[in-house]
Structure 1
Amino acid sequence: MTMPKRRLGAEGPTVSAIGFGSMSFGGFFGPADDDTSLETLAAVAAAGIDFWDTANIYGMGRAERIVGQYLKQTGARITLATKAGIIPGPPRHYSNDADYIRAELESSLQKLNRDKVELYYIHRREEKRPVEEVAETMGRLIEEGLIDAWGLSEVAPSTIRRAHRVVPLTAVQNEYSLWTRLPELGVIQTCEDLGIAFIPFSPIGRGALGVGDLDPQSFGSHDFRKQNPRFLEPNWSENMDYIRAFRRFAEDKGVTPPALAIAWVLHQGDHLIPIPGTRTAEHLADWAQAAEIGLSEDDLWEIEQILPAGWAAGDRYSDTQLFGVERYC
């Protein structure tokens, strides 16, 4: 089957209903190598996924460079998003300063072998800088033809409304999945009301809802999940009881757990375009057909009984990782 399409915002292009996130190319979830990443991108393209997401901070430019290399080698036509705003430090901090955002965009374009990107996100909002000022900065980049549209990441509904009034947003990207459902308390509805695409990242729960059991004890020292409370004991063992029940339901339906998890996200609204990521083509095959899975009202009810809202033990981020994420509930 052909990958279904969804519109990226009220005025944006149509893109594959499932996108691809390249965070894992930067080594956040274990060792990554360029050849394997390029093979993964080839599999992504073959699956009909033409909406790709990256960021300047993923591997400190490594993910952007790999995407740029693939695009230069193949001439693939995709809708591309990248991000800026996080400065790793130490200490980690954020900047939405106009000169910084422009300089990072120019650096990203060079690595991506592009003269523009279709979507440019503020990766984290700088708390003390009015978002209206940031919107004006992004509006100038649009006027200059360096970006087609702009977005925000990990923000509250109030921030979305304020920014959208100045320069309309095309997309908002927050974590959303069966184990992280905070966006249901305002972000999803606000995006729908304003004609903004909502882009759920980590729709497979950072691998927790994958095909096999993860072993957090085996995570490398640089694995992003090593500090996530949900992957620490006693939370992890409690979470696995729920996850195994979900796996059994997926198996009864004849689909993989990650594909079912993504299908559930897709059923939460036509303006949702999830961007799962993976390091390998093998894992991509586990969920690439998720948009083909139909879910009945009975299926959705059953999933809700197995994984009710708030089921996950532990926070999605450690206190250090949570710094910079807007809280609104």
Structure 2
Amino acid sequence: MKQRRLGKTGYQVSEIGLGCWQLGGGFGPVGDETANAILDAADAAGVNFWDTADVYGGGLSESRIGAHPKNAQVRVATKLGRGGGLFPNNYSFEGVRASLEGSARRLGVATLDLAQLHCVPTAVLREGSIFGWMDRLQAEGLVRHWGASVETIEEGLLCLEQPGLATLQIIFNVLRQDAAEQLLPKAAERDVGLIVRLPLASGLLSGKFSRDTQFEATDHRNFNRDGEAFSVGETFSGIPYERGLELVQELKGLAPESMPLSQFALRWILDHPEVSTIIAGVSKPEQLADNVAASEQRSLFPALNTRLKEWYEKDVKPAIRGGV
């Protein structure tokens, strides 16, 4: 597995990481056997960056990761700010500390490798106290490094003004390309590691969905299609499902015939050198091999990237809801 440097953390992390939302049931129920098989497969494949959060299954995802024997090279990143009674307007230093201490207990560590603010409201980011709290907790040794996971480019640019920010997690894929213009270059300038989430737009870019596809009742792709539970941009990258299916069909006509659509989508992201790692979630261990293979695919031709940008501006961007 090829590795890249995760910004000022200095960590060497796999180009393809593992998103662990699904281990908490965010994409439907996942049993212990399947969860362990996914983590085993990731470890065996050299996928050494695992991303979780305190709210994934009410701590279940963190607990499963903490209990799982893993290679010493694995870096576990967690997130805070959506649970623990903090969201949306009850943030305090004591509350943030308690949240992170809970994550550390579940993960079975004294110091967290990386703690990320988890889609904290823009107003809280603008007020700024929370950044100072993270600096303080880093100085106290509860976290080695801290970062932020954001929903919009505006929030990302705001976070990049913070000297202590080590990483930034963003939505970035062929259906959400705007970050390439300003956010990616600025992150590189500040030596901030970029973590890409939702690289396959909640599975749309696997090319395996249809109008007849059914999702579990507990799957956010069922209950949050129009932003009923949280930001609409977190589900199918903010694109209405039916329109997303149409766009995927168009994308299939642009992708190289020799490359599976999911690998094509991941390769497009990896062709941006500012990106440190992609956290792709899987519901079955065998899906990991397909994701990992994208790291070995050759870069896309410049003419194709230009065509994809034109397609995005004309056909995709007008369909995005929830801001970019």
Q: TM-score under structure 1 normalisation?
A: 0.83
> Which residue identity does 1:6 align to in structure 2?
R
1:293 to 1:95, Cα distance in 2 relative to 1, 3 A: farther
Kindly state the Cα deviation for residue 33 of structure 1 after the two structures are TM-superposed. Answer: 1.3
1:305 to 1:313, Cα distance in 2 relative to 1, 3 A: closer
Question: In structure 2, the residue corresponding to 1:209 is in which secondary structure?
Answer: helix
Match of 1:301 in 2: 306
Instruction: Name the stretch that deviates more: 158-167 or 124-133.
Output: 158-167
1:228 aligns with 2:258: no
Match of 1:237 in 2: 242
Counterpart among 80, 101, 106 of residue 111 in structure 1? 106
Q: 1:227-275 CA distances to partner (integer Å, 9 max, x unpaired)?
A: 32476xx9433332321233355461x2221111111011123334211
What CA distance in whole angstroms lies between the structure 2 residues aligned with 1:122 and 1:259?
A: 29
Counterpart among 29, 51, 60 of residue 31 in structure 1? 29
What CA distance in whole angstroms lies between the structure 1 residues aligned with 2:150 and 2:315?
A: 19
Q: Is the 8 A contact 1:118 1:148 kept in 2?
A: yes
Match of 1:174 in 2: 170
Q: Is the 8 A contact 1:228 1:316 kept in 2?
A: no
1:211 to 1:124, Cα distance in 2 relative to 1, 3 A: closer
Match of 1:195 in 2: 191
1:235 to 1:112, Cα distance in 2 relative to 1, 3 A: closer
What CA distance in whole angstroms lies between the structure 2 residues aligned with 1:151 and 1:257?
A: 30
Instruction: Name the stretch that deviates more: 56-65 or 112-121.
Output: 112-121
Match of 1:48 in 2: 46
1:7 aligns with 2:9: no
Residue identity over aligned pairs, in percent, reads 26
After TM superposition, where is structure 1 displaced by more than 6 Å over at least 4 residues in a row? none
> Which residue identity does 1:101 align to in structure 2?
V
Match of 2:229 in 1: none
What CA distance in whole angstroms lies between the structure 2 residues aligned with 1:306 and 1:185?
A: 16
1:77 aligns with 2:78: no
> Which residue identity does 2:94 align to in structure 1?
D
1:138 aligns with 2:107: no
What CA distance in whole angstroms lies between the structure 2 residues aligned with 1:211 and 1:174?
A: 22
Q: Is the 8 A contact 1:55 1:63 kept in 2?
A: yes
Q: 1:161-205 CA distances to partner (integer Å, 9 max, x unpaired)?
A: 665555421111121111123423532232122111121100001
Match of 1:322 in 2: none
Kindly state the Cα deviation for residue 67 of structure 1 after the two structures are TM-superposed. Answer: 0.7
Structure 1 alignment gaps of length 5 or more: 318-326
**How large is the RMSD of aligned CA atoms in angstroms?**
2.8
Kindly state the Cα deviation for residue 210 of structure 1 after the two structures are TM-superposed. Answer: 0.7
Q: Is the 8 A contact 2:22 2:282 kept in 1?
A: yes
Structure 2 alignment gaps of length 5 or more: 227-234
Q: TM-score under structure 2 normalisation?
A: 0.85
Kindly state the Cα deviation for residue 9 of structure 1 after the two structures are TM-superposed. Answer: 0.9
> Which residue identity does 1:186 align to in structure 2?
Q
Counterpart among 271, 278, 283 of residue 279 in structure 1? 283
1:286-325 correspondence to structure 2 within 5 Å: 286-294=290-298, 295-304=300-309, 307-308=312-313, 311=316, 314-315=319-320
Counterpart among 16, 19, 22 of residue 18 in structure 1? 16
Counterpart among 262, 265, 268 of residue 264 in structure 1? 268
> Which residue identity does 2:293 align to in structure 1?
Q
> Which residue identity does 2:272 align to in structure 1?
Q
Question: In structure 2, the residue corresponding to 1:179 is in which secondary structure?
Answer: coil
Match of 1:63 in 2: 61
